[in-house]
Amino acid sequence: MQIVLLLLKIIGILLLVLLGLFVLALLAVLFVPVRYRLSGFRWPDKGTALHGRVSWLWPLLAVRFGYEKEAYFQLRILGIQLKRKEKEEHSPESSPPPAPHPAARLAAPPVSAQAVQPPSATVQPIPPSSVSEREPAREPLFQPEDKEDSGPGFFKRLWEGLRSFSERLRSSAESLREWKRKLQRLGRGIEEKKQRFGRFLAFLALPEVKETLRLCLRQVKGLLKHIGPRKIYLKGRFGFDDPSLTGQVTGALSMLPLAYREGVTVTPDFTQACLEGEFEVRGRIRLAKLLALGLKIWFDDNFKKTYQKWKEM
């Protein structure tokens, strides 16, 4: 009995340890942020470079990528870089055949020019009888007119002409009816789309729909604020050949909130065309924050009513 109780105790301890590890891993996934960093520069003497890094639980998982003289990509797990196989093993079938030995080329007998030349094709004359058989019979330049136009053949041709004319009339009438049906279907489709658009406008005018749209807009702003960079460093100089264009771009940039953040210095150059500088941005993303933003919309009463109304449309 004591042995059974001891085994149950050990099993319970192991289950609790596994449960604690699972909860710890879940909390780490939810609350440990994914950090990112992006930097680069463009200088006339140094060239152009771009470097990026994404890490989670820094020693556990890290990804590096960028370009400086050549593109690179690195993946590290627990600080160990995973290397990719750059050289593939070639199969013996795909390998090129070995070159012949020089001695074998010297021992080969010379090839005469007569053996290389292709055999001349013999041209056989075509007998005139076969040519005449192949040529189509020529029609006479002048055909004798029918002397009797009022015979039975005239009424036959008249009947065939009337029948072909009636068939053309029937085909034209059928095509007109088909066009009429197409226009009717087009009119019904336009009317249905007009009714749907009216129902959609009435749907947007509902108060619960307006509140849901406002809530979604606030959550999207919160999402952009959360995933946006926490630290920005930008120092550069730009200019165009046309000084007026440089002034217009400077005025447009001055209306952006980014131009007034700490660490951002952009200088316009009205004397020459240039684009140079360096930058660095850093930020972090938490999965728990993203879930909180989404769940706040999902459990909202106005969103539930809006979803029900949308299903009824």
The domain boundary, picked from 43, 59, 82, lies at 82
For residues 201 and 212, state if they share a domain. Answer: no
With H, G, I as helix, E, B as strand and everything else as coil, classify residue 40. strand
Between residues 144 and 223, which one has the greater pLDDT? 223
Domain-embedded: residue 135: no
pLDDT digits (tens, 9 = 90+) for 184-235: 899 898 999 999 899 899 999 999 999 999 999 999 999 999 999 999 999 9
What single-letter DSSP state applies at residue 259? G
Q: Is residue 109 part of a domain?
A: no
Asked if the structure places residue 12 within a domain, the reply is no
pLDDT tens readout for residues 80-97: 888 764 444 444 444 455
Considering the domain architecture, whether residues 197 and 214 belong to the same structural domain is answered as no
Provide mean pLDDT across the span 96-120.
47
User: Do 163 and 244 belong to one domain?
Assistant: no
Do 233 and 277 touch, CB atoms closer than 8 A? no
At 126, give phi and psi (nearest 5°). -90, 125
Last residue of a domain, one of 187, 205, 223: 205
Q: CA-to-CA distance for 212 and 201, rounded, in angstroms? A: 15
**Residue 152 — very low, low, confident or very high, per pLDDT cuts 50/70/90?**
low
Q: Give yes or no for a contact between 261 and 279, defined as CB atoms under 8 angstroms apart.
A: no
Mean pLDDT of the chain: 80
Contact between 293 and 222 under an 8 Å Cβ cutoff? The reply is yes
Quick check: is 243 in a domain? yes
Domain boundary among 146, 178, 205: 205
Q: Can you read off the two tokens belonging to residue 260?
A: 């007034």
- Which H or E run contains 283? strand 274-285
Residue 28 lies in a domain: no
Give the burial class of 239: count Cβ atoms within 10 A of its Cβ; 0-12 exposed, 13-18 middle, 19 or more buried.
Answer: buried
What pLDDT, in 10s, does the model give residues 286-311?
999 999 999 999 999 999 999 998 88
Residue 95 lies in a domain: no
The answer to whether residues 219 and 286 belong to one domain is yes
Average pLDDT over residues 42-51: 91
Alpha helices in 135-242 (DSSP H): 152-204, 207-227
Asked whether the beta carbons of 220 and 214 are under 8 A apart, the reply is no
| pTM of the predicted model as reported, rounded to 2 decimal places | 0.62
Question: Is residue 278 within 8 Å of residue 46, measured between CB atoms?
Answer: no
Domain boundaries, position 212: 207-312
Residue 129 lies in a domain: no
The pLDDT assigned to 97 comes to: 53
